[in-house]
Amino acid sequence: MSLSYTQALRNERLNYAEIFLITPFVVVVQQFAPVLATRLGASPLLLGFLTSGAALMLSITAAMGPWWFKRIPLDRITSLAGPLIVFRTVLIWIPLALSLPDHRAEALVGLIILLNFFAGLSQVTFLSFLPRMTLRNRLAGMMSGRWTALGVGMAICAPVLALVLDRFELPVNYAVVCAIALVFTLISTACLFRVRLAPLDGPGALKGPAHASTGQAGGQTGVRDLLKHAPGVRFLVVTLLTQIALNAPVPLITLRLVRELNLSDGDYGIYTAAFWAALAVFGLILPRLVERFGNRRIFVASGVVLGLQVLILALTATLPLIWLSGIIGGIASVMFQVTAFALVMESAPVGRYESYVSLQSSVANFAVFAAPLAMSALSMAGLSVVTGLVICAGLRTVAGFPAWQRTGQSSV
């Protein structure tokens, strides 16, 4: 048996509610935590570690995917509960880290890096469950809808929480926004746990190592088998290139906006809101563009637009243009994320979806680990922030072009 249309529709609505309600958490942990570390005096290298260390944890847990799948029940969504809840306790630990007498920036960065181990376990589990939350022909629409719901939520929450941060002094301001985010996070988690998955043996189910030949999935033999699948290997290379280009400028963007351009929390909140509002609006248009031009062309185009976003940040010092770069970044990001997910499914070997997701996530997270760290080290060695951003703009523009050529048929 498989999900009925009514069950699939219910799951989709719960997905949209879950991701909309989690946006205060995302704003605090992903958007404002790097800003907070910068205001606490973090060096460029430490900011690089904030992104790179978290990615290293995600890479480790992605590699642990096959091992993890053999140790959790795969028939219910609550298998996510343990690692998901531990990661979301970061909202409690951030205010506590700010109460330390010194080394607060280091404590904040170390805390986020450590808890991303649990984020990785929940992420790899969620990605494995995602195709079983709706009907196969509705999956792309649900993914686009999730990004739209996230964009709407972020566009609302980012400026509101930024105003709260500006209203109170440190560390009270972060205690208040973490408390607000925690309330919404609890409701979001409850929505997620109401989702019902399609049975593993249903028609069209993805037959991966977690429920089909698990014996060798986690070992060297399983990896070698995956590397014999040419379309999968080609997309692993594309993943490495695009994730390096996408993540290399992350610490430089924070330094540019907070230290060089002196944006307040309110101005930074507007930049973030512009990014996510554009993502939400364009997410509604994107499915029609994908239908017309195909995933690969949109994927390549997203890199060109992402390059433009970084170039504007490098060359401008005026708020309207900074906010314009946020809009451009939001448009490009939803183009990249939705089409990248589709290409992962298209590139996976037959019957090895979960194993391929684990390997592809490991490659992506290695790039997220290495790229910001390398760019931060270059900045510490004397490379200017503006020059680094211009280099990254070029990398983003060209990195996706190897994906233009279609290499195989969908095989999941």
Structure tokens at 41: 């005096």
Could you write out the DSSP letters of every residue in 364-403? Answer: HHHHHHHHHHHHHHHHHTT--HHHHHHHHHHHHHHHTGGG
- Tens digit of pLDDT per residue, the chain (412 long)? 578 999 999 999 999 999 999 999 999 998 899 889 988 888 888 888 887 888 788 778 877 877 888 888 888 888 888 999 999 999 999 999 999 988 999 999 999 999 989 988 888 888 888 888 998 888 877 877 887 888 889 889 988 999 999 899 989 999 999 999 999 999 999 999 999 998 876 544 444 434 433 333 344 546 777 777 777 888 889 999 999 999 999 889 988 998 899 888 888 888 988 998 898 888 888 888 888 898 899 999 999 999 999 999 999 889 999 999 999 999 999 899 888 888 887 887 877 776 787 788 778 878 888 898 888 889 888 899 999 999 999 999 999 888 876 544 444 4
- For 20, the 3-state DSSP assignment is helix
Q: How far apart are CA 117 and CA 99, in angstroms?
A: 24
Q: What is the distance in angstroms between the CA of the first residue and the CA of the last residue of the chain?
A: 18
Please report, for residues 60, 120, 206, the alpha-carbon distance to residue 49 in angstroms, rounded to integers and kept in the order given: 16, 17, 36
Taking the model in full, what pTM does it have? 0.74
* Structural domains of the chain, ranges and CATH numbers in brackets: 5-199+213-403 (1.20.1250.20)
Please give the helix or strand (H or E) that residue 87 lies within, else none. helix 81-88
